[in-house]
Structure formats: C-alpha cells, structure tokens
Structure 1
Amino acid sequence: MKLALTAVFVKDMEKSRAFYSGILGLKEHMDSGVHLSYNCGLSLWQEDAALGTIHSEKVPAGGGSRFELCFESEDLKADFARVKSGGARVISPVAEQPWGQRVFRVYDPDGHIVEVAEPLTMTVKRFISAGLSVREIADKTTIPAEIVEQMAK
C-alpha cells in the first residue's frame, strides 16, 4: 500500500479552488466537477458528494470526517481482509464506486476516514479488458480521454 492523496472535503468548490489554485498556485491535474486533484497529491472533494458516496447517503450525525486519507493497493481483497481482521471499523467493503474504481473504506482509531483503492491505471486497464472504448472509459471515470490513453499504455 502507498499513500496516494489526501482529500479535503469542501463546502464551496469554487472558493476552495480560488484559494488552492489561485492563491497557493497549486497545479491542477484533473477536474470532474465535484472532485479536483492537484499534482502535489492534494485533492478537493465537494463535501456533500463525498459524504454521500462514502456513507451511501447515510451520513453519520455530525457529518463525518472533513478529510480522507487515500491509499492505493494492487491487492484490495488481501488488504481489506488484513485491515478488517486487525479490528478496523469498516465503513464499506471492497466495492466499485460510481466512477468505476474499486475501493474500501475504514475508520482509523481516531475516526478519520481511510480509503484504500486500486490505482486508477488498474481501473482503466480493467475497463479496457472488458471491451470499453477510451471514450466510454473517459465518460464513466471522468478522466480526460488523453489521460485514459496514457494510463492504458
């Protein structure tokens, strides 16, 4: 497993983008509307969309954590089994997200959300193996087609 990014949940994407992109000058990598990633490993995620996805519309009292640590793993099943047997509180088992990536989420001992996901390159290659075109993959994942083509190599 490796740390892939830290996702900060934001109430107003445009205000946050103005701060991180404009004032701090961070270089944007990908923007899907409710999710904006930067080249440095930081990601902004529209809070209502994030919590709805993570908690399957059952947001805990108090709204849940305001950020998520995101790790990547090439063996989600084994990592999920290890984390679960270690006593972590499971938010969601391994499941495909609306954008196609497979992930699981748990709470750390302090209640922070920890996501473990397959690398997006694995998601793209899985879709290619399933016969999807670059355009179909781009539409499903919200990854720009030119980046899908790069990941497919």
Structure 2
Amino acid sequence: MRYTAALISVADIHVSRAFYEELFGLELDHDYGINVSFSCGLALQQNFAWLAGVPEESVVKRSHNMELCFETKDFDEFLKKLNSRPDIRRLGDVVEHGWGQRVVRLYDPDGHLIEAGEDMEMVVRRFLASGMTMEEVSARMDVSIEDLEKLLTAE
C-alpha cells in the first residue's frame, strides 16, 4: 500500500486548475477531464459528490477542519503575487509564528483553506542574516542545532 494523493472537491475544474497553476506554480501530472492531478500529489475533482456517492448537500465549503500547506523560498515575492490578486479571499493578514515562520492563510475558489508560508530553511537563513547565532536560532525555533544544520544542507 502506498499513499498517492490528497483529492479535494471543486466546483469548476478549469477555474481551480488555473488557480493552483498560476498562484503556486503547480505542474500538471494527469488530466482526466473532471479530475486533474499535480506532480506534488494534490488532485482536484469536479462532481465529487457523484464520485464518492454522497449527497451533494453534504459537500461543504469553508469547513475549517483542514488546510493545504505550501512553502516558498521567496515569501515576499509570493506576497506580491497574492497582493496582485484582489479576487482571492484571505483569512487574516500575514502572521509570524513563534518559531519564526511567516505565513498567510487564504481560500481557494472552492473555499478550501490554504496556508502559504516561508520555507523553513529561509527562516533559519533570515535569522542568521539578522545577526543571530545558531544557538539563538535553535532556542528561538526550539530545534536542535543538528536539525538546523540539516535544514541548511538539505537539497
């Protein structure tokens, strides 16, 4: 057995596909008409109620019980792209979590919650560039120095 994908219900496959390709740069893996999958493992399904065999009214929007998470190496550039899209509804402003990662939450066209955040390697690099020592970064992020070093050398 192997995990293959997270599949989310969408009202219009074309609108949702464009949203994920344009905003997040996702690459199409398969296109089956009312179902598309991206190389990252996310899949979109139009007519989900029919597929799953559940009542249409049971497929809800903005349930706030899960979120899709994306990270980027250039968070500021992502924010510029996001700010150029007044059609995208946000759930609040940019926040910086206690461990230092900056994130913003937004909704896709079907009301699925998305967290877009700064890549954790970039958080460490930002802290180091500000003059913090590895020990200070380790304490701030509550992560071992060994794990920080792994982040900085991972490909």
- After TM superposition, the score normalised by the length of structure 1 is 0.51
1:115 and 2:115 are equivalent in the alignment: yes
SS in 1 for 2:95: strand
> What's the CA shift for 1:148?
0.8
8 Å Cα contact 1:101/1:120 also seen in 2? yes
- Kindly report which structure 2 residues correspond to 1:72-151, keeping only aligned pairs within 5 A, or say none: 72-86=71-85, 87-151=87-151
Any residues of structure 2 matched to 1:28-107 within 5 Å, and which?
Answer: 65-86=64-85, 87-107=87-107
Greater CA drift, 81-90 or 105-114? 81-90
Counterparts of 1:105 and 1:125 in 2: how far apart (Å)? 23
How far is the alpha carbon of 1:127 from its aligned partner?
0.8
Structure 1's 66 and 137: CA in aligned 2 closer, same or farther, altered over 3 A?
Answer: same
Instruction: Please give the root-mean-square deviation of Cα atoms over the aligned residues, in Å.
Output: 2.6
Per the TM alignment, residue 77 of structure 1 is displaced from its structure 2 partner at its CA by 2.7
Write the letter of the residue equivalent to 1:126: R
Structure 2: gaps spanning 5 or more residues: 1-5, 7-40, 42-61
Calculate the TM-score normalised by the size of structure 2.
0.50
Q: Which amino acid aligns with 1:81?
A: K
Q: 5+ residue gaps in structure 1? A: 1-5, 7-40, 42-62
Q: Aligned residues: percent identity?
A: 35
Select the structure of larger CA radius of gyration.
2
Query: 1:109 Cα shift?
Result: 2.2
